[in-house]
Amino acid sequence: MEMRALSFGFRLAAGGAAARRRFLPGAIRGRRASVRGAFTLVELLIVIAIVLIVLSVALPMFNVINDSHSIEGARNKMSAMLARSRSQAIGLYRLVGVAFFRDTATDRYVMRQVAFLDPNNPTSIDFTPDSDDETLAPGVAVQVLHNAVKPAGSSPPFVERYVSMGVIMFDGQGILATVPYTVPGGSQLAARSGISFTSPISTQVAIAVYDRERFRNQGYTDADPVMGGASSNESAEESWLDMNALTLMVNRYDGTFMEPRKLLGRPG
């Protein structure tokens, strides 16, 4: 009995040793395989370079998409603002409009409802008491299409068509109105925009929306001669707007935007 137990123990020991011998080469082979499957430094650098190339191509496309979404969002905001002001003009049966301007405190473009409020100055406009700001996205800028007025005292042989601040006005029947207006120096609009004038100009009928960074990268500024600013190159600036701005014409009868189009202007 004792001899059988010893014999059985020897067989177990021999079997365990054989199993270990069979296992060890496989484990070593696995470790070698895992070492061979790792990336080398050169391979990692190649992958990083490919990722950087893809990002450099994709990011500008993302910026273009983002800019177009911002301009489309501005269009929707402006459309809603014009509709509210038109409804109020009909409800009150008086002239009510929307002023578009750059807020000097925030350097952002803003819309706000305006009306003729001063009985002693029938052309003077200012914010209506119950109105609020509607601010456009930081990368979006707006100019309004002026009614072909040559800047006072200017010598360039062109008529200015874009101004940095303007008003879209509706009458008591909800029809787009072209009426003279001024912005007195003591008004809230003048304080916010930094622009005031006492010689009347006409309310406008169309809006140009554009990418502000691209505009400024051309060396152009928000100033213009009609509003009392010194423009860098007004003729070239307006040609750029002709080619690059989204021009929104306001429908005379319902206040909606008509199909956007490029204005016929100078090539640039």
Does residue 15 surpass a pLDDT of 60? no
Q: Exposed, middle or buried by CB within 10 Å (0-12, 13-18, 19+), for 142?
A: buried
- The verdict on 8 and 124 lying in the same domain is no
Would you place residue 69 in the very low, low, confident or very high pLDDT band (cuts 50, 70, 90)? low
* Residue 260 lies inside a defined structural domain of this protein: no
* Residue 75 lies inside a defined structural domain of this protein: yes
Which of 237, 226, 225, 168 minimizes the C-alpha distance to 199?
226
Domain of residue 7: give its range.
2-38
Residue 47 is predicted with a pLDDT of 86
Does residue 177 surpass a pLDDT of 60? yes
Residue 65 is predicted with a pLDDT of 47
Looking at every residue in the chain, the average pLDDT score rounds to: 79
Would you place residue 261 in the very low, low, confident or very high pLDDT band (cuts 50, 70, 90)? low
Distance CA 258, CA 252 (A): 10
Does residue 19 surpass a pLDDT of 70? no
* Residue 43 lies inside a defined structural domain of this protein: no
- The verdict on 170 and 240 lying in the same domain is yes
Residue 197 bridge partners (DSSP): 183
The stretch 78-107 carries a mean pLDDT of 96
Does residue 262 surpass a pLDDT of 60? no
Would you place residue 229 in the very low, low, confident or very high pLDDT band (cuts 50, 70, 90)? low
C-alpha distances in angstroms, 164 versus 35, 154, 193, 200? 67, 17, 10, 16
Based on the structure, what is the number of domains in the chain? 2
Check residues 264 and 171 and name the one with the higher pLDDT: 171
- The verdict on 26 and 124 lying in the same domain is no
* Residue 213 lies inside a defined structural domain of this protein: yes
Would you place residue 83 in the very low, low, confident or very high pLDDT band (cuts 50, 70, 90)? very high
Which of 195, 83, 79, 217 minimizes the C-alpha distance to 139?
217
Q: Please give the model's pTM, rounded to 2 decimal places.
A: 0.69
- The verdict on 99 and 189 lying in the same domain is yes
Dihedral of alpha carbons 177, 178, 180, 183, sign: positive
Query: What are the pLDDT digits (tens) for 22-68?
Result: 544 555 555 555 555 677 888 888 888 888 888 777 665 545 444 44
- The verdict on 21 and 149 lying in the same domain is no
- The verdict on 20 and 133 lying in the same domain is no
Residue 41 is predicted with a pLDDT of 81
- The verdict on 16 and 145 lying in the same domain is no
* Residue 263 lies inside a defined structural domain of this protein: no
Residue 111 is predicted with a pLDDT of 97
Residue 266 is predicted with a pLDDT of 39
Share of the chain above pLDDT 70, in %: 69
Does residue 213 surpass a pLDDT of 80? yes
150 and 225 Cβ atoms separated by less than 8 Å: no
- The verdict on 23 and 147 lying in the same domain is no
158 and 235 Cβ atoms separated by less than 8 Å: yes
Query: What are the pLDDT digits (tens) for 119-136?
Result: 999 999 999 998 999 999
Query: What are the pLDDT digits (tens) for 132-148?
Result: 999 999 999 999 987 65
Residue 163 is predicted with a pLDDT of 86
- The verdict on 76 and 209 lying in the same domain is yes
Residue 46 is predicted with a pLDDT of 86
Does residue 162 surpass a pLDDT of 70? yes
